[in-house]
Amino acid sequence: MARIALVTGGTRGIGAAISRALTEAGVTVAASYAGNDEAASRFKGETGIPVFKWDVGSFEASAEGVKRVEDEVGPIDILVNNAGITRDGFFHKMTQEQWRAVLTTNLDSLFNVTRPVIDGMRARNWGRIVVISSINGQKGQMGQVNYSAAKAGDIGFVKALAQESANKGITVNAICPGYIGTEMVQAIAPEVLKTKILPQIPVGRLGLPEEVGKAVSYLASEDASFVTGSVLSINGGQHM
């Protein structure tokens, strides 16, 4: 029987590419999103993948959302914690709201969504958890103290949970993308991209969402059962 995956933020950008790659690999996918109904219904129309709306920053909403997915689609074997946001600004000007929003959506969400999913994985002795962290959680990034802290936290989460879960057939891994050509990055002025960003990337281009999707599909597969606690960089050589 097909494995079942939940991809948070699975309706747009990198998440949508992950949802599509898992579907191509024969996995039954459910995709969550926060509030962009138009993008979600377009994605659902194009792919046939069911979509579920809730805020992954809320523990109660996540427990309810996971229950809805499991009632309507089935027990979650593969969880991809992908949903994330940025609220950039220099630290000396950063508001508590900017800090909170980024930590809540990018880090608290890992607890909120994984906690209601993991009991089932442990009971069935099989699971795959993939967390989409960031190159900026590895190296830090000016103007993103909040985001860098949250994404570095994601990596700590992965390494500790991988150790706790290994004897239950559950692998836990992180992917750290560099600049990937989603709406988030396409919003950067072309001149800035050309003169400031591309020169930092040895491969000389932005990554494609599909390149992250394929990696998730591998980590979620049977073949990757000996890969756990790893941090996979997909950044065109920008940081090693």
Among all residues, which ones are annotated catalytic? 147
The reply to whether 35 sits near ligand NDP by the rule CB under 6 A is yes
Which three-class secondary structure state does DSSP give residue 74? coil
* 15 near ligand NDP, rule: CB under 6 A: yes
Among 27, 55, 155, 157, binds ligand NDP (CB under 6 A): 55
Q: Which of residues 199-218 bind ligand NDP (CB under 6 A)?
A: none
Residue 148 binds ligand NDP, judged by CB under 6 A: no
Site residues for ligand NDP, 77-116, by CB under 6 A, read 82-85, 105
d(Cα 194, Cα 208) in Å, to the nearest integer?
17
d(CA 147, CA 156): 14
Interacting residues of 18 by C-beta distance below 8 A, sequence separation 6+: 7, 10, 80, 82, 132, 209, 212, 213, 216, 217
Instruction: Give the phi and the psi of residue 35 in degrees, each rounded to 5.
Output: -170, -10
Does residue 22 bind ligand NDP (CB under 6 A)?
no
Instruction: Rule CB under 6 A: say whether 152 interacts with ligand NDP.
Output: no
Q: How far is the CB of 1 from ligand NDP (least distance, A)?
A: 27
Q: Does 186 bind ligand NDP (CB under 6 A)?
A: no
Q: Verify binding: residue 39, ligand NDP, rule CB under 6 A.
A: yes
Strands (E), the chain: 4-7, 28-33, 51-53, 78-81, 127-132, 170-177, 231-234
Q: What tokens does 238 get?
A: 């920008």
Task: Enumerate binding residues for ligand NDP (CB under 6 A).
Answer: 8-9, 11-15, 32-36, 39, 55-57, 82-85, 105, 132, 134, 177, 179-180, 182-185
